[in-house]
Amino acid sequence: MPSLTEAIAATTPGLLVGATDWCTHPPDLVVTRVRGTKNPDLAAIAALEPDLVVCNQEENRRLDVERLRERGIPVWVTVIESVDQALASMRRLLVEALALEEPEWWREASRVWAEPVTPQPVPRRVAIPVWRDPWMVVGAGTYTGDVLERLGFVNAFGARLAAGAVGAEDRAARYPHVDVAAIRAAADLVVLPDEPYAFGPLDGPEVFREGDGPIPTVCVDGRSVTWYGPAMVAARSYLEQVLAPWRG
């Protein structure tokens, strides 16, 4: 899990022996790569003889966790669905599970995100797509949704979706499948992060400029809205700056 890899590496360099192919931070991290979160190389992980494997409930499959445990490898599974939960979960991992000192970046991130939100007179309803073809958006009970709401915005898909907006099986999903018409109907603003799907100025905004009544869009650094850990320190000020033109 990239966020957790960065958190551990930033706290105690050299503690990690392996990471996924998607763990890009810190940029100078040199460890054995064990494929992705959904297709880990279990044999390669076992060969590293780790004292602990760190996973995330959202990113990693339960089957892989069980298979690692069957090999006698301890696995620590994090559950992170909000800013507060991210901070508490990472502190438990670092301080309790790994017996490390509380890192300075964690204290700074806690301070940054404890600052109150200045209420917006008319909060913008924001949709945050994470994929296209098919389109998927951030729903309820998500870290990304909580980040935007803490900045004074309303996650347009943060509550149970209205009947007919998406298929019945998706209404309670944390990342529901929707169509562009549903996004247009629900949102005043579309925030397009560059991960996990690489939305950018030429890939995403054009969809919401078409048709009757264009919807404004803003492209943002995906780490600022999807990565917890050291990235949280700068994320708030960055997002407040790039989203300032759309505050009510």
Query: 186-219, pLDDT tens digit by residue?
Result: 999 999 999 999 999 999 999 998 777 789 999 9
What order of strands is seen across the sheet that includes strand 125-127? 154-155, 125-127, 189-193, 217-220
Q: What is the pLDDT of residue 32?
A: 95
Per residue in 228-237, pLDDT tens? 999 999 999 9
Homologous superfamily of domain range 2-114: Nitrogenase molybdenum iron protein domain (3.40.50.1980)
Per residue in 36-95, pLDDT tens? 999 999 999 999 999 999 999 989 999 999 999 999 999 999 999 999 999 999 999 999
The CATH number corresponding to 125-246 among 3.30.9.10, 1.10.8.60, 3.40.50.1980, 3.40.50.720 equals 3.40.50.1980
Helices (H) and strands (E) counted in the chain, each on its own, are 10, 10
Q: What is the pTM of this model?
A: 0.90
Question: Can you spell out the DSSP letters for 109-167?
Answer: HHHHHHSPP---SSPPEEE-EEETTTTEE--SS-HHHHHHHHTT-EETTSSPPPBTTB-
90 in helix, strand or coil?
Answer: helix
List, by residue range, all CATH 3.40.50.1980 domains of the chain. Answer: 2-114, 125-246
